[in-house]
Structure 1
Amino acid sequence: MTGFQRLLTAGYRVFFLAAGLFAVFAMIVWEGWLGIHAAGGMVSDMPFAMAPHIWHAHELIFGYAAAAIAGFLMTAAPSWVGSEAARTRFFALASGVWLAGRLAVWFSGSLPAGLVMALDLSFLPVIGAKVAVLLLKRPKPRQMVFLVVLAVFFTANLMVHLEWAGLTADTAYGGLRAGLVTLSALIMVLGGRVTPAFTRNAMLRTGRETGLPRDPLPLAVAAIAAALALPVLTMAGLDGPVFAGVAMIAGLSGLARLTGWRGVWTLNQPILWSLHLGYAMNAAGLIALGLAALGLGSEIAALHLLGIGAVGGMTLAVMSRAALGHSGRPLVAPGPLALAYALLPLAAVARSAASEWPALYYPGVLTAGGLWALAFTLYLAELWPLFTGPRMDAGKETK
């Protein structure tokens, strides 16, 4: 079996590789355009129809993150219901649909807006339908919530395309914002499950039986319910004190949960502390977003704490852990991968500083983009053999 054929045998292989490659490509395009303008030049012709900063935001939310979500769901969902993984034909189709969406948006300057919309919006229904078929075999509310999240995420992207097609007047920004806070809500749900669970498992493997992670139900309910409400509030156009209050509840409850997960114990295990760090960045980003809604700080800075630190950090942590476990490798992050984990929070801080202090805009944004691209280049360099090579027997945990 060739590397390309093996790539299409598992969701984590094809989608986690696609996500990593696209993360680097999309950032290089944005950095290149911005760097030319920072140097006093001008780029007036791009193949896409929308403004470069809008393309940048859309593709990292609905391009990169959508691939990461698909890889996770198509890897985890079969194990949830005791089913076999999807066939190679499905992965070929689904990855082709994802790529068609990326190409359609890239060449949107010369394509009909309706065609761009149809191609880009097709991916999530393909993944959602497959996940629904699997989950309906053994319906559990705990897992069915992912279908709700996919539906909200799809609706947010639809809002963007409706404005691009000229069918609505002012829904694109709201759709982008709703898409990002939907990803934040997903981190509250998924990160809130795996972070304490994996930490507990690791502690038990060392023989420790006391001082294990705790996750009080009231805090979990408050954090998740508030986070899930944010995309709905965004799409409804509700801002100001209401949005601020809900965002603050989500973020503060998330931080309170985190204090009981024994993060200090994980400091010598990057494969674990990366999960804690991604979750912490998510909570901090939500608090910053709530404060910005009250006029305290920059909303753009808060959104980048979420986009880079939370979404980027948590997806990198989950993708790499899943790739190691499902390919049969030990759950130990190599040095370059651990460095990648650390670079993304630095990128988030640099990008947020660029929005808070206009004098730092160009150096801050360019630094953040460079750190992002370096982090995902390290990820690709370390894990490429896992995506295209045969499974090994070392390591047995595949969660």
Structure 2
Amino acid sequence: MAPIPRLRDYSGPALLSYGFRPFFLFGSLYAGLSILAWLPMFYGELQLSTAFVPRDWHIHEMLYGYLPAIITGFLLTAVPNWTGRMPLQGRPLLVLLLTWVVGRIAVTASARIGWEAAAIIDNAFLFLVAAAMGREILKGKNWRNLKVLIAIVILAAGNIVFHIEANLAGGAEYGIRFGIASTMMLIMLIGGRIVPSFTRNWLARENPGRLPAPFGHFDVASMIAAGIALLMWIGFPDWTVTGAALIAAGALQVVRLGRWAGERTWRDRLVLILHIGYAFVPLGFILVGLSSLRLMPSGAGIHAWTGGAIGVMTLAVMSRASLGHTGRALVASTTTQILYLLLVIGAVARICAAIHPGFSDTLLHVAAASWAGAFLGFSLTYWTVFTRPRVGN
């Protein structure tokens, strides 16, 4: 990200001085706590007053609960840099945060308040985010980033589909695939911008030599192939042609990642973790493709995308942005590196739990403990980063 633009005069809590602060903090807390609730729900030891079946609650709160909070924190920080306009601060930011919190409560209590009311309350957040982003992009005349706004609107549409399908059909199969597919496109879109950019900046300064390939026709082709494969997967997940398209798209993403010179970044863990996180994107494509060909359990690829790509990429972006935008050195501390390792271990354990059912109980506990440890550890480690003024102020 570029340096923070000039801020308005602001004398309120530091937590509400910039969008990444509250959403990264409360989003990471929620990510860890919801997984601690999910495991006893999975084993029938805990029941919540939600209209969703336990699996759907878990998936929904990861895809449409945790993830939108982190995306919002990122965009509220990035869009002012893209447009040159002032960031959201103070009371408007608090209103947005409380809308997200109320949405989490509504979904979890949807059996009491009714699924229709819960759906309306829950979806209000993403539409407010889309409205805020659209206003800034339009007023800043930053037309090239309209595609990010479109991705947010698509994610909101997926949330609507999820609620309707889960409560009318008894399960949210299309809503789940829609949400995962739109998220993968967003990761490929934003990741394709920030991963090679941060890599280039570090290599040019610290390790002269081969640099990431510039964005070009290959990137466009690989994104189009991925988009087509994901659309096929949403509608026809069991088709052989879908499996072949997913595997081909995964292979193209492997090549795309290889063009970013990630193997040369091992000395900078803040950059290296971005490459590791992105590597779960093509892995997910290939594993889900094998599942469509009935050669792999479906959960393996889905968790490569969710626990791996979503989990690792969001933690990588949160840690880097939090340090950079509070005036701290862009260096991954030992604790931060441990958090990265925990999350990668958790993602691999969850993938393996789907592949090896005989070891699933142990691997599920490892995955849940690693995920919760990573995100709760992040929220505690970075608590002062989010709640204290920018260094040097």
Normalised to the residue count of structure 2, the TM-score between the two structures is: 0.92
CA shift in 2, pair 1:247/1:3, >3 Å = farther
Give the SS at the match of 2:78.
Answer: helix
* Structure 2 gaps, min length 5: 1-8
Q: What aligned pairs does 1:286-297 form with structure 2 within 5 A after superposition? A: 286-297=285-296
Deviation at 1:366, TM superposition (A): 1.2
Give the SS at the match of 1:214.
Answer: coil
**What is the alpha-carbon root mean square deviation over aligned residues?**
2.2
* Structure-2 separation of matches of 1:325 and 1:241: 45
> Would you say the 8 A contact 1:347–1:372 is kept in 2?
yes
1:319 maps to 2:318: yes
Counterpart of 2:81 in structure 1 is 79
Give the SS at the match of 1:122.
Answer: helix
Letter in 1 for 2:278: Y
Deviation at 1:222, TM superposition (A): 2.3
Deviation at 1:215, TM superposition (A): 4.1
CA shift in 2, pair 1:290/1:238, >3 Å = closer
Counterpart of 1:178 in structure 2 is 178
* Structure-1 separation of matches of 2:280 and 2:66: 19
1:10 maps to 2:18: yes
Name the stretch that deviates more: 362-371 or 245-254.
245-254
> Would you say the 8 A contact 1:178–1:234 is kept in 2?
no
Counterpart of 2:300 in structure 1 is 301
Deviation at 1:384, TM superposition (A): 1.0
* Structure-1 separation of matches of 2:143 and 2:257: 24
Deviation at 1:276, TM superposition (A): 0.4
* Structure-2 separation of matches of 1:44 and 1:390: 40
* Structure-1 separation of matches of 2:33 and 2:223: 32
Deviation at 1:4, TM superposition (A): 8.2
* Structure-2 separation of matches of 1:234 and 1:125: 26
Letter in 1 for 2:112: S
Q: What aligned pairs does 1:231-380 form with structure 2 within 5 A after superposition? A: 232-237=231-236, 239-380=238-379
Deviation at 1:256, TM superposition (A): 0.3
* Structure-1 separation of matches of 2:194 and 2:127: 25
CA shift in 2, pair 1:32/1:226, >3 Å = same
> Would you say the 8 A contact 1:195–1:275 is kept in 2?
yes
* Structure-1 separation of matches of 2:207 and 2:272: 19
Deviation at 1:260, TM superposition (A): 1.9
> Would you say the 8 A contact 1:219–1:256 is kept in 2?
no
Letter in 1 for 2:194: V
CA shift in 2, pair 1:238/1:331, >3 Å = same
> Would you say the 8 A contact 1:174–1:234 is kept in 2?
no
Counterpart of 2:49 in structure 1 is 47
Letter in 1 for 2:56: I
* Structure-1 separation of matches of 2:11 and 2:366: 34
Q: What aligned pairs does 1:216-227 form with structure 2 within 5 A after superposition? A: 217-227=216-226
Deviation at 1:18, TM superposition (A): 1.3
Deviation at 1:386, TM superposition (A): 1.0
* Structure-1 separation of matches of 2:152 and 2:240: 27
* Structure 1 gaps, min length 5: 395-399
> Would you say the 8 A contact 1:350–1:367 is kept in 2?
yes
Deviation at 1:95, TM superposition (A): 0.6
CA shift in 2, pair 1:143/1:174, >3 Å = same
Counterpart of 2:41 in structure 1 is 33
CA shift in 2, pair 1:64/1:44, >3 Å = closer
* Structure-1 separation of matches of 2:52 and 2:11: 36
CA shift in 2, pair 1:307/1:143, >3 Å = same
1:64 maps to 2:66: yes
> Would you say the 8 A contact 1:212–1:261 is kept in 2?
yes
CA shift in 2, pair 1:272/1:45, >3 Å = closer
Deviation at 1:377, TM superposition (A): 2.2
> Would you say the 8 A contact 1:188–1:227 is kept in 2?
no
Deviation at 1:112, TM superposition (A): 1.2
Normalised to the residue count of structure 1, the TM-score between the two structures is: 0.91
* Structure-2 separation of matches of 1:230 and 1:22: 31
Give the SS at the match of 2:213.
Answer: coil
Name the stretch that deviates more: 314-323 or 352-361.
352-361
Letter in 2 for 1:85: P
Deviation at 1:139, TM superposition (A): 4.0
1:176-226 C-alpha deviation (Å, 9 max, x unpaired): 121112111111111111111101101222372x31111462321122223
* Structure-2 separation of matches of 1:105 and 1:313: 25
Counterpart of 1:120 in structure 2 is 122
* Structure-2 separation of matches of 1:372 and 1:44: 19
* Structure-2 separation of matches of 1:389 and 1:229: 45
Name the stretch that deviates more: 236-245 or 111-120.
236-245
- Matched pairs, number: 385
Letter in 2 for 1:27: I
Letter in 2 for 1:63: G
Letter in 2 for 1:383: Y
Give the SS at the match of 1:213.
Answer: coil
* Structure-2 separation of matches of 1:216 and 1:16: 29
CA shift in 2, pair 1:216/1:72, >3 Å = closer
* Structure-2 separation of matches of 1:226 and 1:140: 27
* Structure-2 separation of matches of 1:76 and 1:29: 32
1:27-66 C-alpha deviation (Å, 9 max, x unpaired): 11012334xx3xxxx4364222222222111101111101
> Would you say the 8 A contact 2:12–2:90 is kept in 1?
no
> Would you say the 8 A contact 2:323–2:385 is kept in 1?
yes
Deviation at 1:113, TM superposition (A): 1.3
> Would you say the 8 A contact 2:53–2:171 is kept in 1?
no
1:145 maps to 2:147: yes
CA shift in 2, pair 1:223/1:18, >3 Å = farther
